[in-house]
Structure 1
Amino acid sequence: MEDKAAVNFNGTSPVITPARDLSSGEIIKAYIQVTKPVSVALLVFTAVAMMVVARAGHPFTWGQFLVATLAVTLACAGANAVSCYVDRDIDAVMGRTSHRPIPSGRIYPPVRALYWGLALFAASLAFAWSLNFAAWLCLWGGMLGYVGIYSLWLKRRSTWNIILGGFSGGLPALFGWAAVTGSVNLLSLLVAALVVLWIPNHIWSLAFFYRDEYARVKVPMLPVVTEPKKALHCLLMTVILMALVSVGIYFAGDWGALYLVTAVILGLAALALSVNVYLNPAPKKAWLLFKFSSPYLGILFLAMMADVWL
């Protein structure tokens, strides 16, 4: 199939042209893709897992469960769509992202993606408000952290982009707890911290693999702007902290052996892969760590739910 759009360049600024002859199905698909559904699924899963954990000791109807799931899904999807609009220029330059709906011209003009994302987020706030104020605040915090602090402020300016902007990644899990209980506690904060510490491992390993592409668009990810050994040392430290927090969660909650055993095994696996990359800094090893990171988080949260059920 021929490309339906082309990205031209005026100096260093990409000029996006509209895709032609798109069917209704392709247009719908583009608006779904701009929300990054795979990313949304993982974040929503952390929220659902925390709702299951919190629901064990609090009254929470299935209707409220569905409303909360819809709220966090729309919020994550909306934030991703707005972020894609913000990053449309660098996405057009990077080979890894040039096929996305905005740079490929499948959503044109690009501002339509912004409107789409804001509409999704507004709907999420309405659903969250019907739950409680704490849940509503969590969604606001996620949007402000991801789009405001990370995408608009720090991503192109500082190596602290992932560290300071990454706190938004923990907000869906915190939302899940708050949606059920109306508040937060030590356990929910530790679970949110686990996700925040997971993010550097996930993003820096990817940036190490795509180091040249990030350098070309001048995004100062740590593996791009510092020597590999130093960057991998920082990555290893975050993985160690992540593994320790995952075990700390066991002591902060009422868990059985299932969660603890899962946390220890996954933590050791993450540490082994991180040490392997640190000692042998090759892009392929970083890619393996990146591919492991999402299953790590998914399985760990699945273990939380299974532990409660059992």
Structure 2
Amino acid sequence: MSETIILLEQVNKHYQKINALQDIDLRLEAGEVLGLFGHNGAGKTTMMKLILGIIKVSAGNISVFGLDPLDKQAWASRKKIGYLPENVSFYDQLSGTEVLTYFARLKSAPKNQIVELLEKVGLADAKDRAAKTYSKGMRQRLGLAQAFLGNPKLLLLDEPTVGLDPSATQEFYSSVDQLKSSGASIILCSHVLPGVEQHIDRAMILSAGKSAAIGSLQDLRDAAQLPVSIKTKGINGALKNNAQLAGFMVAHNHLLVPESQKVQIIRQLMEFENISDIQVEAASLEHIYQHYLADNKRSIEQESKL
């Protein structure tokens, strides 16, 4: 039986007249990666601050490693948490090595990790330079190294790939996969959706402080009844001459078909003698995200009319 690392039950957070979060339910298990998505102001950073115990819930219950994050006993468990804020800042006069040494002491992390992590994030050559000389991308990589200190059992990553080049981004996701395989739980908040989906187990989409959707990508696709994209080569326009297939056409040699009819349509396409290639793609994370945001917006508009 897996261990519940984070539990949110009907969590609300209000700032005067602003409802930052409303009736949020979430259970995150050990070794699970959750992608947290939403527009600016949707409540993503507020949720992370609640989990960290930086701010207090207005209503509802929250527990991290079985304890209220604001409980005095929860302070010890913070050493098991790695956090990367959206806007990374350090003491400018400290070098990269000194920054990680400082955080290693706070988290009681082994010092031999410092050299290893600096190499892993590509800062080995800049380890003795002052942080004020680092570019935005270098600061982001130093922030990642800080978050990975101590082999955390819970990682909260707010826009972790901002400022990273493709190589560094790939290395970051490799680290996420390694931590997941070791049993760590991860909440990954990002606006950069391409490349994220193969690294998460579930997605949670926030809109105006409410949960618009939560579940595995396949569950969300099924619930939304999003179509499958099928592109062909070699048929040379013959699709439009097939009465059944023509109904699914959205462009030359491009079909959008319901998931339930995918296999049937593929079989039909394979009967074309001249077909040379076929590409099948389920709805991407971007499509899922846009669908649920639009659906939530419609619900809000309907409620306002009542």
- The TM-score bracket by the shorter chain reads under 0.3
More helix by share: 1
Q: TM-score, normalised by structure 2?
A: 0.27
More strand by share: 2
Report which of the two structures shows the higher radius of gyration computed on alpha carbons: 2
Q: TM-score, normalised by structure 1?
A: 0.27
